[in-house]
Structure 1
Amino acid sequence: MSLEFTHETLGQRVLFGSGKAGQHLAEEIRTMGASKVMLIASEAESAIAESVARDVDVALTYSDVAPHVPAEKAEKARSAAAEHGIDLLVSVGGGSTTGLAKAVALTSGLPIIAVPTTYAGSEATNVWGLTEGARKTTGIDSRVLPATVIYDADLTLSLPVELSVASGLNGLAHCVDSMWAPRADPINAALGAEGIRALNRGLPLIKQDPTGHEGREMALYGAYLSAVAFASAGSGLHHKICHVLGGTWNMPHAETHATVLPYVLAFNAPQAPEAAARIAGAFGSDDANDGLRQLREALDAPRALQDFGFKAEYIPEAVQIILAAVPESNPRKCTPENLTTLLTAALQGDNPKILSD
């Protein structure tokens, strides 16, 4: 078999070490020569952010963060950065916080240091997203890729187990989607498989011992790999579905991804046997769907979209929007009928097996 593909590896510095976020941040800022730092963190994570930035001279602390990055909040943050003459953005938090920093960087070109406190993975991608008029728009731009990512498992210890599970499964969805996304290639498939292995090991450890470092570190490692794979491969069917649900009905990001994942895997796997075999191997299973099912059962993962506010009456509109965004690379042809079946099953928490029969 001959190989022929094009792969781009994004340039980014990664600093990994439990208990070292504050030290790494101060050293990195000195190295970059920044003097006007904008510290972005939600109110809920303000204490964590202040601790991380304890040795940093912060010019502006900014906390107006919201899920899915509403366009009006992005404009407000951009104005604040310009008004204070900011020359470096530091985001401390999950995907919403990183997303707001990216929105500022998109128009200003300011560099970002991202300090994640969840397993969202946004910190390792050049993908931005904004929501306006109940529609989420995403794009790719080199300006939004954080220059440095600082990983510290200590910062995730306060993340409740339920959110840790949902966030980690969100990362795992990046891995799975990278197997058949528009720019899928053997390199990001390998990264995605290693990400699955790491998350499959780390998340149960978090469930068993929420204060232990091994599970938290393994989950951060897996989340990083998942994001790198996703950044290279692009958005597949899973992400197109979740972007529509999140942007149109303001569904919670991590929980939506965690719930939809088994349905997209069951939907696509029969038409993508090579990818399914790679996913199964990463789970240490003979079958990709069984491997994911066993992990989800061990984690007591989110099951039904109706638990997070999605309703049957939304499905026709969702199908219409999703159909227009389905990548040509998707291994299975999407129709109004089979997407309706997929969303109905995910709504109710039905057995995903019905999608692969």
Structure 2
Amino acid sequence: MSTEELEMEDRSTDALSFEHITLGQKVLFGAGKAADFLVDEVRRKKAERVMVIAGGRELGIARQVTSHIDVHVWHDEVVMHVPVEVAERARVTAREKKVDLLVCVGGGSTVGLAKAVALTEKLPVVAVPTTYAGSEATNVWGLTKDERKTTGVDDAVLPQTVIYDPELTLSLPVDLSVASGLNALAHCVDSLWAPKADPINAALAVEGIRALSAGLPAIVQNPQDMRGREMTLYGAYLSAVAFASAGSGIHHKICHTLGGTFDLPHAQTHAVVLPYVLAFNAPHAPEAERRMAAAFSADTALEGLNRLRDEVNAPRRLSDYGFHPEDAAEAAQIALEIIPPSNPRSVTLKNLTDLLLAVTCGDDPASVPSDN
């Protein structure tokens, strides 16, 4: 019997007690099928005034995906971290045009804007992702105001249908594919010690790690490799479902602070911060660490993640994106107020500042921070 089987046998005697909520959502997955899928969904919902949300980079893709439906109104003002004023303008447009269905085509910022509209206007959303952000599979919304990002949970923002077409990710450059895929991986990792972590979302997270670990290197080796993009998109969905159930852990609270207050790019920030959070928490969450290590096929979770980062030439330091060492203390103070008290390791201003300093400079994740 293998070590992993023995561990599973040991755990099988433990009493299970947890509460798990599975979100209701239709998922359609198939390469080259997005336009046909969307036609069927618009007909099924009997929508007559469709508002399509797509930013500048995704407009061409959006026109391709929506080529077989009647679009009532186009909205292309998409801004990272969804500023409140941007959301309000989209809401006004939806209201004035009497929209009855939102279709968003793009990455996390695009889906985030659709969610912001759905939050107040109570409109159904069909999401067509072009990245691996995962926002489309969660009921979490986020808005930025006065340099502070606020998030919340509301079932009204959960897209009723998600259309996954791996071909739509072909336009995503390799470096952004890597950052976006590691953002998805961060959902998996955080889901193993977030406030509502349970055995079901843990299982999804572990499978997500396996899929992403296989898919991302394949994309780097051959950006046109459809199997790699299928595996990465599949892993991103699993990661998001796990995250939607488990909630935001320390990693996401840090990254929301860095994005909302310091306007750092979303996917790259998650990709850079992830190994430092893993090194910070893993010794204090041995069961989660063992499961992640097995998913990476490595002796330790950090070893597996670092090997993957080397394979895909992952981004390494926050200083590359405009974050400075003198910003670390302020970011730590803000994040400390929102990090869940259930985090496996005690979080202090000192060790959180140390972590952020290390992330800024790209130090070895295993060497920091201190326990002070």
Tell me which interval the TM-score lies in, with the shorter structure as reference length. over 0.9
Deviation by residue 1:185-222 (Cα, 9 ceiling, x = unmatched): 00000000000000000000000010110000000000
Check the 8 A contact 2:257/2:335 in 1, yes or no: yes
Per-residue CA shift, 1:87-117, capped at 9, x if unaligned?
0000000000000000000001100000000
Q: How far is the alpha carbon of 1:349 from its aligned partner?
A: 0.4
2:166 counterpart residue number: 153
User: What TM-score results when the alignment is normalised by the length of structure 2?
Assistant: 0.95
Aligned to 1:16: 29
1:136 maps to which of 136, 141, 149? 149
List structure 1 segments (4+ residues) > 4 angstroms apart after TM superposition: none
2:30 pairs with 1:56: no
Corresponding residue number in structure 1 for 2:9: none
**One of 178, 197, 208 as aligned partner of 1:165:** 178
Contact 1:74 1:100 in 2 (8 A): yes
Give the aligned partner of residue 101 of structure 1.
114
CA–CA distance in 1 between the matches of 2:262 and 2:191? 25
> Does the 8 Å contact 2:354/2:369 carry over to 1?
no
The one-letter code of the counterpart of 1:336 is L
1:313 equivalent to 2:313? Answer no
- Answering whether residue 198 of structure 2 is matched by residue 185 of structure 1, we say yes
Aligned to 1:241, the other structure's residue is in SS state helix
For residues 205 and 298 of structure 2, what CA distance do their matches in structure 1 show?
16
Query: What RMSD over aligned residues (CA atoms) do the two structures have, in Å?
Result: 0.7
Given candidates 271, 283, 294, the residue that maps to 2:307 is 294
Q: C-alpha separation between the residues in 2 aligned to 1:80 and 1:55?
A: 23
Note the C-alpha offset of 1:330.
0.5
Paired AA for residue 56 in structure 1: I
Q: How does 1:214-229 map to 2 (within 5 A)?
A: 214-229=227-242
What TM-score results when the alignment is normalised by the length of structure 1?
A: 0.99
Match of 1:195 in 2: 208
Q: Does 1:86 align with 2:99?
A: yes
- 3-state secondary structure, aligned to 1:154: helix
In 2: Cα distance, 1:173 partner to 1:323 partner = 19
| Residue in structure 2 matched with residue 211 of structure 1 by the alignment | 224
Which of 18, 39, 51 is residue 5 of structure 1 equivalent to?
Answer: 18
Residues 1:74 and 2:74 are matched in the alignment? no
Q: Is 1:27 paired with 2:40?
A: yes
Query: 8 Å contact 1:15–1:148 — kept in the other structure?
Result: yes
Q: Contact 2:105–2:129 (CA<8 Å) still a contact in 1?
A: yes
The range that moved more, 312-321 or 255-264, is 312-321
Deviates more, 1:137-146 or 1:306-315: 306-315
Which one of the candidate residues 240, 251, 255 is aligned to 1:242? 255
The offset of 1:340, in angstroms, is 1.0
AA partner of residue 94 (structure 1)? G
Aligned length: 357
Counterpart in the other structure of 1:329: 342
Alignment check: 8 A CA contact 1:270 1:356 kept? no
d(CA) in 2 for partners of 1:103, 1:246: 17
On the 8 A contact 2:336/2:347 being kept in 1, the answer is yes
CA–CA separation in structure 2 for the residues paired with 1:109 and 1:157: 32
DSSP-derived class of the 2:51 partner: strand
Does the 8 Å CA contact 1:305/1:349 hold for their aligned counterparts?
yes
Secondary structure of 1:58's counterpart equals coil
1:269 touches 1:356 (CA, 8 Å); kept in 2? no
Alpha-carbon distance between aligned partners in 1 of 2:271 and 2:326, rounded to the nearest angstrom: 21
Instruction: State the shift of 1:44 in Å.
Output: 1.2
**Cα displacement string for residues 101-147 of structure 1 (whole angstroms, at most 9, x for unaligned residues):** 00000001100000000000000000000000000000000000000
* Cα distance in 1, alignment partners of residues 260 and 68 from structure 2: 37
| Among candidates 110, 113, 137, match of residue 124 of structure 1 | 137
Structure 2 distance, partners of 1:217, 1:35, is: 32
Displacement of 1:356 in angstroms is 7.2
Question: How far did 1:54 drift?
Answer: 0.1
Runs (5+) with no aligned partner, structure 1: none
Q: Tell me the residue number matched to 2:3.
A: none
Structure 1 range deviating more: 320-329 or 119-128: 320-329
**Deviation per residue, 1:10-49 (Å, 9 max, x gap):** 0000000000000000111101111100000001110000
Tell me which amino acid in the other structure corresponds to 2:100. Answer: D
2:232 partner letter: A
1:233 equivalent to 2:257? Answer no
Matching residue of 1:283:
296
- C-alpha distance after superposition, 1:46-93 (max 9, x if no partner): 000000000010000110000000000000000000110000000000
1:355 Cα offset (Å):
2.8
Letter in 2 for 1:129: G
For the residue of structure 2 that corresponds to 1:137, the secondary structure is strand
Q: Which amino acid in the other structure matches residue 290 of structure 2?
A: A
The percent of aligned pairs where both chains have the same amino acid is 64
SS in 2 for 1:325: coil
**Does the 8 Å CA contact 2:352/2:369 hold for their aligned counterparts?**
no
Q: Distance in 2 between matches of 1:131 and 1:154?
A: 31
